[in-house]
Structure 1
């Protein structure tokens, strides 16, 4: 049996990699719409479903919003406002994340976030998060990647909207020793014929020492379960209380019942995949004695029991 432990990565006290249970992350993102109570309710949904972690997004609005977009007015649930004011309205600060951090610690669930700028990396490091998730949109931001590498935390890199050359460059900047790659398609929601799940196999071949996962933005559950069957060691899906809520990510998110079914099915797949080593299980010996007319060649110690 090939030892794959060198490929594992740590997220908190959990090993993530081939042969390990799939690490499932519920992406809350900005689906809390700036309300801590909604964020806590979504954490409860994630806990009830049995995920391993919840994830948020963290931005410095003035850094991450193009200057020519600041003053464009937008209709929102809180009235018509400038886009920069809207970005502040839905962004959590230190007080909100203190509440989230204490809540997750009390409930025993990991949380981390996607920092979109260097200041946000430093902000999240202050909470001792177990990993940093790099959004596909940030894959080409070398300054951000270098900051995340310097943090020493596991970097989970989504590869949507990116070319193979851009992915290779990002892995070089981050260093391959502490990275998890996530195949992703950055449309919201993503059509099934654009998911290209076999790209996971391509990443596994090109980066043989890097664990590969899947960040899904599609509707439904089947294709994410298929990603687990193809060997994804990390899975992330957006979650929501109600897909009709305000926000660009809501339509591609899972509601509570869907998340529960997804976690159930991925856990079954993860357990069923096994390690690829052929062996005879105890329950097979009774069937063998009953059904096999010719014992066959005694090839190893296991089969001597029925020779």
Structure 2
């Protein structure tokens, strides 16, 4: 198999022929509380996720200046928007604690940096990769910063045109990225998921592994993405969809996350290699149920019999 479409994330390989890499997107659903972050890491570990992902921002860079002093109601009382943005960010000690907890639970962690300063911050932790959010796909300065780290970059393509996607791939370089199809509405409507874009991206970028970042409700469509060939799947996760926060309603609760990972593993096992064969488990049912052996020689059936095309024996007339 060609290694063109294989990427390394920590100790794992992402791409065709390898298990789907499943990421639980914590984002800011922790609401600035380490206890919530730890509980979400635990839920991801117990479900069998490969990694969890956070979002890292420098509030003064990522918050428009005219929004700093706008007041809003929060779980911690009424505060300015800039104070709220600081309230939901973890400092270096917080991420050290997160890194330790992830190591104890056996899951990787990484983050979406939303500005160049956040890339420098995250470099302190040796994360296995970076995620570029759909909203940041047009930020060439950020793309160059994450490329300069030499780490694998996972790029989401929501709210972007084909021309913008091609440009972002050019800036990042195609040799060390994973592309994720996404629709950036929260929650996304099924009619707007356009999952066949997975095939479009595979055809457009034949040397790049393609995944799926979902913001829909329910699990069926993320599972369909795996059946269509997504080798990386990311879903937002939450302790409770009724919690305060803009991303909670489009997130998956712990029980749903367990079902999602379980069913992804079943689907990838069931897809097989596309080569038709008669399995040993079929021999007894064949002997019992098949009344007419057919024109193909019996020697061609049995354990390991395999052929994409079927050879036919001459028939006497």
Task: State whether TM-score is above 0.5.
Answer: yes
- Hey, what does 1:126 align to over in structure 2? 124
- Hey, what does 2:293 align to over in structure 1? 294
- Hey, what does 1:140 align to over in structure 2? 138
Deviation at 1:86, TM superposition (A): 0.5
Task: Give the alignment of 1:89-104 within 5 angstroms.
Answer: 89-104=87-102
Contact 1:4 1:18 in 2 (8 A): no
Contact 2:29 2:248 in 1 (8 A): yes
Deviation at 1:167, TM superposition (A): 0.2
Contact 2:214 2:234 in 1 (8 A): yes
Tell me, in whole angstroms, the C-alpha distance in 2 between the residues paired with 1:20 and 1:296. 38
- Hey, what does 1:66 align to over in structure 2? 64
Q: Secondary structure at the match of 2:278?
A: coil
1:2-35 deviations in whole A, cap 9, x for unaligned? x243311111111111121111100000000000
Contact 1:4 1:19 in 2 (8 A): no
Distance 1:190 1:305, change over 3 A: closer
Q: 1:75 aligns with which of 73, 76, 83?
A: 73
Q: 1:212 aligns with which of 210, 213, 216?
A: 210
- Hey, what does 1:248 align to over in structure 2? 246
Q: Secondary structure at the match of 2:212?
A: strand
Long gaps (5+) in structure 2: 306-312
Deviation at 1:278, TM superposition (A): 2.3
Tell me if 1:224 matches 2:222. yes
- Hey, what does 1:11 align to over in structure 2? 9
The list of structure 1 runs, each at least 4 consecutive aligned residues, that deviate by more than 6 angstroms after superposition, is: 299-302, 304-307
- Hey, what does 1:88 align to over in structure 2? 86
1:269-300 deviations in whole A, cap 9, x for unaligned? 11111122223322123333444432543599
- Hey, what does 2:46 align to over in structure 1? 48
Tell me, in whole angstroms, the C-alpha distance in 1 between the residues paired with 2:183 and 2:303. 51
- Hey, what does 1:25 align to over in structure 2? 23
TM-score by length of 2: 0.92
Q: Secondary structure at the match of 2:213?
A: strand
Contact 1:59 1:117 in 2 (8 A): yes
Tell me, in whole angstroms, the C-alpha distance in 2 between the residues paired with 1:133 and 1:19. 22
1:171-194 deviations in whole A, cap 9, x for unaligned? 011111111100000001111111
Deviation at 1:66, TM superposition (A): 1.1
Contact 1:298 1:304 in 2 (8 A): no
Deviation at 1:205, TM superposition (A): 0.9
- Hey, what does 1:112 align to over in structure 2? 110
Structure showing greater radius of gyration is: 2
Contact 1:19 1:275 in 2 (8 A): no
RMSD between superposed Cα atoms in Å: 1.8
Q: 1:156 aligns with which of 154, 161, 175?
A: 154
Tell me, in whole angstroms, the C-alpha distance in 1 between the residues paired with 2:304 and 2:50. 41
Contact 1:29 1:57 in 2 (8 A): yes
1:243-264 deviations in whole A, cap 9, x for unaligned? 1111100000011111111111
